[in-house]
Structure 1
């Protein structure tokens, strides 16, 4: 289930580049009084993802985004309808939320239809995809580089684990092939993103890709996010219609 949230924002308001943790906090505060939406199987529910912010008009000033339009759009996705319902109710009740040097005023929400999930689809990123690999003897997470084999392998494994957590079984078909757009990688100046999430540096990539294989795993990636740290605003994708 996916929603588009629209906020009003004052012209001239300045937002930090690294705003992911602010949006994570917005979700938590919206759900504070709705425990059924915050927990699953007795544990905190983390199977959701959200996009970067989409400004109708903006400019960059130093390390800030300066809003020049009136509306800001934001997308949230989860396979749990109770989570989405609780979030919408919380946002409506909250009304306004401070964001950087400005304030977001909740305006409206729109429920988006899911695409038809097939065994061959093409996506583009709405927030960076990140995946890690604990190296032998490593004391901290090592983020996989998109050019390394572990990047795709770990994305597939992560989707299988998400499916098992959500449905208490493994998918009948675990095959999945992910092919990132080589032309985009070669011609785009910057495809990587180093996000500062409340003091933690997270490496991710925003590159269109084709995915082939299990529609069930593709659906999980679309609804929960591809890769890790989805509930921190990583791994959201949308169907890409190549021009």
Structure 2
């Protein structure tokens, strides 16, 4: 499921271009204290890497650049998605109860909250990014230092790591690994973007992609996000026509 939240601020809203951490914090504050701590500290999964299993879009609305800031005027929308029903329920209840969120010291009144069920997805889906997809490995340099390498959609490892990531998410969500596979390929030329999250520069890609394979993995990618760092606002997609 996913939630479309619309805010109607009374005046302009100024945010830095790298606002993901602030939005993530606003989402967490909508959750009950117990669930917030459980999600933040533990996440989902039985062994190995654990996942938060939610993702969110970039802020959507009319804005202009003013130095390092983005100045939004008028309605602002945010999409949040998760395959975990409790997360969606707590988020919606928190938004309705508070009636607003605080974003970098600015109060944004909530004008509408709309919950949308996942569409029927088969063995193929063309999607468009609502936030950048990032795929990376942590490598060791010859002198023993750790180095993060970000893959492009035109490298084989991009699709391989996306598939492995989706299988691990399936295990965390369903308690078993998916037996099928999935391939995620770019449609056209995705655009490279750089984002900063908590001081770390992250390389990602925006554009259209086609997912082919196990419908269960495609559904998890749609709801939990594609690639890494989903709970930091990466990897959210929406289904579009393939034309």
TM-score in terms of structure 1 length: 0.88
Give the SS at the match of 1:222.
helix
CA deviation vs aligned residue, 1:180-229 (integer Å, no higher than 9, x gap): 013x34xxxxx122111121111111020111111010001001000010
User: Counterpart of 1:60 in 2: which secondary structure?
Assistant: strand
Indicate whether 1:218 and 2:218 are aligned: yes
1:195 to 2:201 alignment: no
- 1:13–1:136 Cα change, 3 Å: closer
* Aligned equivalents of 1:95, 1:220: Cα separation in 2: 30
Of the three residues 108, 114, 123, the one matched with 1:104 is 108
Alpha carbons 1:133, 1:150 under 8 Å: kept: no
Greater strand fraction, Structure 1 or Structure 2: 2
Name 2:49's counterpart in structure 1: none
Report how far residue 100 of structure 1 moved. 4.1
Where 1:226 maps in the other structure, the secondary structure is coil
What is the CA–CA distance in structure 1 between the aligned matches of 2:15 and 2:223, rounded to whole Å?
27
Contact 2:127–2:238 (CA under 8 A) maintained in structure 1: yes
Distance in 2 between residues matched to 1:67 and 1:102, nearest whole Å: 12
What root-mean-square deviation, in Å, do the aligned CA atoms of Structure 1 and Structure 2 show?
1.9
Q: Which residue of structure 2 lines up, in the alignment, with residue 83 of structure 1?
A: 87
Give structure 2 stretches of 5+ with no counterpart: 45-51
2:26·2:103 contact (CA, 8 Å) conserved in 1?
no
Q: Is the 8 A contact 1:10 1:103 kept in 2?
A: no
Output the CA distance in 2 between the equivalents of 1:17 and 1:9. 18
State the number of aligned residues.
Answer: 232
**TM-score for the superposition, normalised by structure 2:** 0.88
Where do residues 50-199 of structure 1 align in structure 2 (5 Å cutoff)? 50-55=56-61, 57-69=62-74, 71-100=75-104, 102-137=106-141, 138-173=145-180, 175-182=181-188, 184-185=189-190, 191-199=191-199
Return the offset for 1:98.
3.2
Correspondence for 2:55? 49
Distance 1:200 1:63 in 2: 17
User: For residue 23 of structure 2, what is the aligned residue in structure 1?
Assistant: 23
- What corresponds to 1:188 in structure 2? none
CA deviation string 1:64-90 (max 9, x = no partner): 211222x11111111111111111112
The answer as to 2:13 corresponding to 1:8 is: no
> Which aligned runs of 4 or more in structure 1 are off by greater than 6 angstroms?
none
Pair 159,217 (structure 1): closer, same or farther in 2 beyond 3 Å = same
Looking at structure 2, the residues matched to 154 and 20 of structure 1 have their Cα atoms a distance apart, in angstroms, of 23
Q: Which runs of 5+ in 1 are unaligned?
A: 186-190
